[in-house]
Amino acid sequence: MSDLATAQNHAFQLARTLMVPITLFRSGDEFGVLPSDELEDGEVETVAEYDPFQFGPAH
């Protein structure tokens, strides 16, 4: 994913679907998303973390 807005949307939707925290990260010139527990500290540049429990249950 190279577009930040698209990556943010995917991260939010993935968090709400899986009901787990999702990290939006940058690696070089690209953005990506993964469940937060699958990333090691310092492995990538974290942009944001989306916690589905901050926004209520997924619909």
pLDDT tens for the chain, 59 residues long, are: 558 999 999 999 999 999 999 999 998 888 989 999 998 867 788 999 999 988 655 44
Select from 22, 48, 25, 57 the least CA-distant residue to 37: 22
- Give the pLDDT confidence score for residue 11 in this predicted structure: 93
pTM of the model: 0.80
- Give the pLDDT confidence score for residue 44 in this predicted structure: 83
Return d(Cα 18, Cα 26) in angstroms, integer. 21
CA-CA-CA-CA dihedral for 56, 5, 11, 21, to nearest 10 = -60
